[in-house]
């Protein structure tokens, strides 16, 4: 069992049925945060292609920030605000998707972009899976209360 | 003019018409990040009411993390991914709203919760305003491309 | 009185005599974190001089991270670990100094570097002042306990 | 080979002889950041012993912040400021040591504190090892230039 899963399971109000899914996401997020920080820096170090890597660096930096904050929210299991987790996960899926899409266009030329694209894609999938789990378990009702009154429900 | 606005306007591709609105949001986010970190810590230092402040501490910590990441994305003006900014701002509005709601319930007893509630509410409003600005300027079209194919459009 | 000072003073174990000094440092750190994130991004957007701004971007990113973490430690007033605050402040003084030094070399060409250099220098001075205050009030004794046994005391 | 090591080695100016040592530290820091965030939250969820866990929560939060910032600085290999890395690593060793010391006092009662103490101790050792490596390779000379003129040299 992974260290972070052991940790989640030792929480006084642990959600034991979800510990493995949460641990998978947390490992993916921790790795993605570091790999994106590394890809931004490796791109910055490129001598010939730096100007073509602007968008890549930008999205790397955003993705690193979003992954680390998303991980912090998911790690916490005390008084969990499901609707906020849902919304932050949604932003994280987008951040990973945009970064993976951009890195893939440089993957044949830069190994760091190839590794980063794979890591972001894996993280996107893990986050998307958890998003589905949380939605299925009834965050939709909560969301109804928080949604501005003039906006229609997301699913019919 | 605020320092951060001067800075935003010195960017080689500055969006001069939005600099003031962005600067307002960035100041609100910077303050809210610190005030929430402070409120979590002040709650932790309370001797008699600590157990009643669990949810407050949890939401303070989440809100601080979300505000700081949201600010980093908004500060950046190179190759801006509007859809991601939109999604992260949405998470931030929720984080501020939840934290303000909870802090308000302790405001008569703890001054730190009263100040924190006011700060979160102001930040929520600033973020919500910017969210409207960005939506109005056409992030909706971009969003259509990024949305998973099996999900219906948000408005018809 | 600044909002963050009001907040620090509402802490159940507030250090009232230091609230103003702490608030000054916290405002400087919050601004410096955002300005450095902005300068890294503005440098990234420069068309002709990007390759000359590598070191500037690197130091901007480091300084932003260090300032935000330092601020979080200083905001907290419950069970303060003085020796850690001292050590983190020391790293922060260095981060600001290195970033200011580098930005100054580009100040005549890029306004964002000029503003960033000034902001970092101000933050360096505020942190250095607080470092002196903390040292004077006896962190040296604590440090003696934590220091590896083979290293001599810093001052006698 | 670990993913982060593959990544570090793909950097255009990779320090191939140190990649493994850096990857070890980065894995330890990523884990320690998440475990400390988790321990703070698990302590917050404890029903009977919450008041005794104040110092633990405080040090958990500090350690998580310091580990994540330290990791970001170490990940970056472009224009590395050795003196800053050295100083930030020093703060990180202290943060891990203080947190491990405190968590150990609760380890027999709370499993999350036991796991956190082990994780922090491992991270402290990895950071301390890297600190030795960097010192040995001559950061001391650099440091001499940066040190305030009124402060005596660290070693005689």
Q: Across chain B, how many H-helices and E-strands are there?
A: 6, 0
CB-based contact D81 C72, cutoff 8 Å: no
Interface probe with A: pick from D13, D24, D75, most Cβ of A within 10 Å: D75
Distance between D67 CA and the closest CA of chain C, angstroms:
10
pLDDT band at residue A138 using 50, 70 and 90 as cut-offs = low
pLDDT of D62-110, one tens digit each? 999 999 999 999 999 999 999 999 999 999 999 999 999 999 999 999 9
Query: What's the pLDDT at C153?
Result: 34
Residues of D in contact with B40 (CB under 8 A): 61
Does the pLDDT value for residue B126 go beyond 70? yes
Average pLDDT over chain C, rounded to whole?
Answer: 90
Choose between A100 and A134: higher pLDDT. A100
Distance between D51 CA and the closest CA of chain B, angstroms:
7
Please provide residue D13's backbone torsions phi and psi, each rounded to the nearest 5 degrees. Answer: -120, 45
- Residue B50 is nearest to which of D45, D50, D61, comparing CB atoms? D50
Half-sphere exposure of D34 (CA within 13 A, CB side): 30
Query: What is the arithmetic mean of pLDDT over B145-149?
Result: 45
Instruction: Return d(Cα D105, Cα B33) in angstroms, integer.
Output: 31
Average pLDDT over chain D, rounded to whole?
Answer: 90
CA D86 to chain centre: 11
H or E element, residue C120:
helix C111-134
Interface probe with B: pick from A55, A57, A81, most Cβ of B within 10 Å: A81
pLDDT band at residue B138 using 50, 70 and 90 as cut-offs = low
Flag whether residue C67 sits within 8 Å of chain B, measured between CB atoms: no
Flag whether residue B44 sits within 8 Å of chain D, measured between CB atoms: yes
The residues near A119 (Cβ < 8 Å, ≥ 6 apart) are: A28, A31, A32, A35, A36, D3
Flag whether residue A48 sits within 8 Å of chain C, measured between CB atoms: no
- Residue B84 is nearest to which of A72, A84, A94, comparing CB atoms? A94
pLDDT band at residue A2 using 50, 70 and 90 as cut-offs = confident
Does the pLDDT value for residue D140 go beyond 80? no
Choose between A137 and D153: higher pLDDT. A137
Closest CA to B139 of B131, B127, B149: B131
CB-based contact C76 D61, cutoff 8 Å: yes
Distance between D20 CA and the closest CA of chain C, angstroms:
22
Burial (CB < 10 A; 0-12, 13-18, 19+), residue B147, is: middle
Instruction: Return d(Cα B21, Cα B139) in angstroms, integer.
Output: 17
Task: Label each residue of D68-137 as H, E or C.
Answer: HHHHHHHHCCCCCCHHHHHHHHHHHHHHHHHHHHHHHCCCCCCHHHHHHHHHHHHHHHHHHHHHHHHHHH
Radius of gyration of chain D measured on its C-alpha atoms: 17
Helix (H, G, I), strand (E, B) or coil at D5: helix
Instruction: Return d(Cα A146, Cα B98) in angstroms, integer.
Output: 9
pLDDT band at residue A135 using 50, 70 and 90 as cut-offs = confident
CB-based contact A87 B90, cutoff 8 Å: yes
Please provide residue C107's backbone torsions phi and psi, each rounded to the nearest 5 degrees. Answer: -65, -35
pLDDT band at residue A147 using 50, 70 and 90 as cut-offs = very low
CB-based contact A34 D71, cutoff 8 Å: yes
Flag whether residue A54 sits within 8 Å of chain C, measured between CB atoms: yes
Does the pLDDT value for residue A124 go beyond 60? yes
CATH architecture group of domain C17-138: Up-down Bundle (1.20)
Interface probe with B: pick from D37, D44, D51, most Cβ of B within 10 Å: D44
C106 with C53: CB under 8 angstroms? yes
Percent of chain D with pLDDT over 70: 88
Query: What's the pLDDT at C139?
Result: 52
Task: Mean pLDDT check: name the lowest of A120-134, C52-66, C91-105, D133-147.
Answer: D133-147
Q: What is the ipTM of this complex?
A: 0.88
Q: Which two tokens stand for residue C70?
A: 């330092």
Give all chains having 3 or more CB-to-CB distances under 8 Å with chain A. B, C, D
Q: What is the DSSP letter of C152?
A: P
Average pLDDT over chain B, rounded to whole?
Answer: 90
**Residues with pLDDT less than 70, chain C:** 138-156
CB-based contact D57 B50, cutoff 8 Å: no
Query: What's the pLDDT at A47?
Result: 87
Query: What's the pLDDT at D144?
Result: 46
Does the pLDDT value for residue B67 go beyond 60? yes
Q: Which two tokens stand for residue C112?
A: 């964002």
Query: What's the pLDDT at C144?
Result: 46
């Amino acid at each position: 069992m992974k260290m972070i899963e052991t940790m989640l399971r030792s929480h006084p109000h642990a959600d034991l049925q979800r510990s493995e899914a949460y641990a998978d996401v947390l490992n993916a997020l921790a790795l993605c945060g570091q790999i994106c920080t590394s890809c931004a820096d490796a791109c910055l170090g490129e001598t010939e292609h730096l100007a073509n890597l602007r968008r890549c660096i930008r999205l790397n930096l955003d993705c690193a920030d979003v992954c680390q904050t998303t991980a912090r929210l998911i790690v916490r299991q005390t008084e969990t605000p499901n609707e906020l987790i849902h919304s932050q996960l949604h932003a994280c899926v987008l951040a990973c998707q945009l970064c993976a899409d951009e890195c893939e266009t440089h993957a044949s030329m830069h190994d760091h972009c190839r590794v980063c694209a794979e890591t972001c894609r894996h993280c996107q999938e893990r986050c998307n899976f958890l998003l589905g789990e949380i939605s299925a378990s009834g965050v939709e009702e909560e969301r109804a209360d928080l949604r501005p009154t003039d906006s229609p429900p997301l699913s019919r």
